[in-house]
Amino acid sequence: MIEPLLISVYIFVLAIFVGFETITKVPPLLHTPLMSGTNAISGITLVGSLISAGSGHSKVSTILGLIAVIFATINVVGGFLVTDRMLEMFKKGNKKD
């Protein structure tokens, strides 16, 4: 029987591969709108990492959950900052000399 940790590692590696392949196929013109749209997914990741960090199953899961909370927070905040900057470009009378 395959251990649950090994299955989790397989899923993680496949997620990395699928994510990399998906992002490399997106044209550069669409990266900013795509980042704006994925803020909701990053928010879900943040909720999941908070649950993982606070579950108290083991010390390792708490530490990994904390690391996930930090990275998910950086991703959400960065996504909103990029979205705000992108929307700022489309406001009328906002020409920079």
pLDDT at 75: 84
pLDDT at 17: 92
Query: DSSP string spanning 21-40?
Result: HHHHTS-GGGHHHHHHHTHH
In angstroms, the CA 47 to CA 37 distance is 17
Vertex 70: Cα angle to 66 and 82 (nearest 5): 160
Q: What is the model's pTM?
A: 0.59
pLDDT at 70: 92
**Residue-range domain boundaries for the chain:** 52-88
Per-run averaged pLDDT (10 residues), the chain, 97 residues: 81 90 79 70 84 83 87 86 80 64
In angstroms, the CA 85 to CA 3 distance is 46
